[in-house]
Amino acid sequence: MSVTSYRQPGVVLTDHVFGVPLDHANPGGEQIEVYAREVVAGSRHADGLPWLVYLEGGPGCAARRFTGTQAWLERALTEYRVLLLDQRGTGRSTPRNRQTLAAFAGPGAQADHLAHFRADSIVRDCELIRRRLTGGAPWTVLGQSFGGFCATHYLSTAPEGLREVFITGGLPSLDAHADDVYRAAYPRMRRKNEAHYARYPQDVARAREIAAHLAEHDVTLPTGYRLTPEAFQSLGILLGTGTGSHHLHYLLENAFVPTGGGRRELSDGFQEAVAAELSFARRPLYAALHEACYAQGPRPTAWSAERVRAGFPAFDAAAALDGDSPLLFTGETIHPWHFTADPALRPLRECAELLAARTDWPALYDPARLAATDIPVAAAVYHDDLYVETEHSLRTARAIRGLRTWITDEYEHDGVRAGGPRVLDRLIALARDEV
């Protein structure tokens, strides 16, 4: 373990690098590194504070890079020493992407390797790190989105390592197949579209015009990303955040520039902005492992979002353009075409196919242990969350002994960041029975 410390306004930061087994069932086998950034209030640097480990959303997303006491850190640093974990394969933790995976023997070796990058392995990394940092004392977990999935697995498998658990927008179904997840997701996506178009009715025509242009022209963005109507629809992932609808509106209003002779082309600015939103270059594991984060048992995911979409014809771009229906944007869905459209994913196409076909995923949750836990747990459940089905979350909340929920429509999925210290403060009070 290597350690480096430095300062930002109001905080002391320390970099940690830990060696962990790729496969925790084979601790003497291949080792990888996991990076984590410790954050403590500058005035309390020498104090013996309890630890809080933050598990970012995803899968496949590195911990957010905060400056000073941004967002929920302001509240956390009043009583915790915080550890911002780059989950394995992300950020500075032995990154896994098209460049590093190119050294493997082939798609099969890549898929077998990435099968060790789900919540179960992340939690076992946490337990090794906890014992090294705390001397064995339990710590607090804050899990955002997929980080909440990891926290629920933590409660199922290693509750002895936990002091308390806070979950924001990340209570998973304990037993739903990916098909169940997406059958519930497409109606939510439609509701988010309807709300967006009600707010910005001018975007109905704008979105149709852009999609029609893409249907008639082969458009490759400056990054090499092939922008098809389906890829354009995936900008709907923005609709799950507090300011996402506004951001999408501003993208659409600057889409075209006149080029003479009555012709219009997609502007360079629009193409650059869309490329930044759609590229998976910074988080390829999000695409490769997204459906795998729901997988348990022998049933493959088999490109669930793509298959289930066929049952929701309103999302068919060609049909919308043939008629007069609004173009519906999609949300948090991964499709086979992502691995041909995005240059960051193209080399992983065969690996992704093998992961989609995999039939040996271990179970992630233990309902019996969750029903018997005595760990204080509090969860923020965002009403009509685009990314996580509310009813699935509430069913799981009822299955975890003593869990207290805060159900709110004040925030979208990014509430723990957008709400500053308020969301974490509320969850701390709930877990401690102070409200």
Mean predicted lDDT score pLDDT of the chain: 97
Residue/partner pairs of 160-163 with CB below 8 Å, 24 or more apart: 161/126, 161/127, 161/130, 162/138, 162/375, 163/50, 163/137, 163/138, 163/139, 163/375
Is 322 a catalytic site residue? no
What band does 1 get if pLDDT is binned at 50, 70 and 90? low
Residue 2, pLDDT score: 60
Report pLDDT digits (tens) over 225-253.
999 999 999 999 999 999 999 999 999 99
Asked whether residue 169 carries a pLDDT value surpassing 90, the answer given is yes
Report pLDDT digits (tens) over 22-32.
999 999 999 99
Average pLDDT over residues 344-351: 98
Average pLDDT over residues 376-398: 97
Residue 4, pLDDT score: 82
Average pLDDT over residues 38-48: 94
Asked whether residue 326 carries a pLDDT value surpassing 80, the answer given is yes
What band does 405 get if pLDDT is binned at 50, 70 and 90? very high
- 322, 360, 374, 409: the catalytic one is 360
What band does 173 get if pLDDT is binned at 50, 70 and 90? very high
Q: Hey, what are 175's tokens?
A: 């037993």
Report pLDDT digits (tens) over 8-20.
999 999 999 999 9
Contact in structure between 93 and 64 (CB atoms under 8 Å): no
What band does 435 get if pLDDT is binned at 50, 70 and 90? confident
Asked whether residue 259 carries a pLDDT value surpassing 80, the answer given is yes
* CATH number of this structure's domain 2-175+365-431: 3.40.50.1820
Q: What is the residue extent of each domain of the chain?
A: 2-175+365-431, 178-357
Model pTM score: 0.96
Question: What 3 state SS string does the chain have?
Answer: CEEEEEEECCEEEEEEEEEEECCCCCCCCCEEEEEEEEEEEHHHCCCCCCEEEEECCCCCCCCCCCCCCCCCHHHHCCCCEEEEECCCCCCCCCCCCHHHHCCCCCHHHHHHHHCCCCHHHHHHHHHHHHHHHHCCCCEEEEEECHHHHHHHHHHHHCHHHEEEEEEECCCCCCCCCHHHHHHHHHHHHHHHHHHHHHHCCHHHHHHHHHHHHHHHCCEECCCCCEECHHHHHHHHHHHHCCCHHHHHHHHHHCCEEEEECCEEEECHHHHHHHHHHHCCCCCHHHHHHCHHHHCCECCCCCCHHHHHHCCCHHHCHHHHHHCCCCCCCCCCCCCCCHHHHCCCCHHHHHHHHHHHHCCCECCCCCHHHHHHCCCCEEEEEECCCCCCCHHHHHHHHHHCCCCEEEEECCCCCCHHHHCCCHHHHHHHHHHCCCC
Residue 51, pLDDT score: 98
Strand 377-382 and strand 162-168: the pairing is parallel
260 phi-psi bin (left φ>0, alpha ψ -120 to 50, beta other): left
- 93, 121, 145, 173: the catalytic one is 145
- What's the chain's length in residues? 435
d(CA 395, CA 380): 14
Is 145 a catalytic site residue? yes
d(CA 411, CA 75): 18
Is 360 a catalytic site residue? yes
Report pLDDT digits (tens) over 68-113.
999 999 999 999 999 999 999 999 999 999 999 999 999 999 999 9
Q: State percent of the chain over pLDDT 70.
A: 100
- 245, 392, 413, 414: the catalytic one is 413
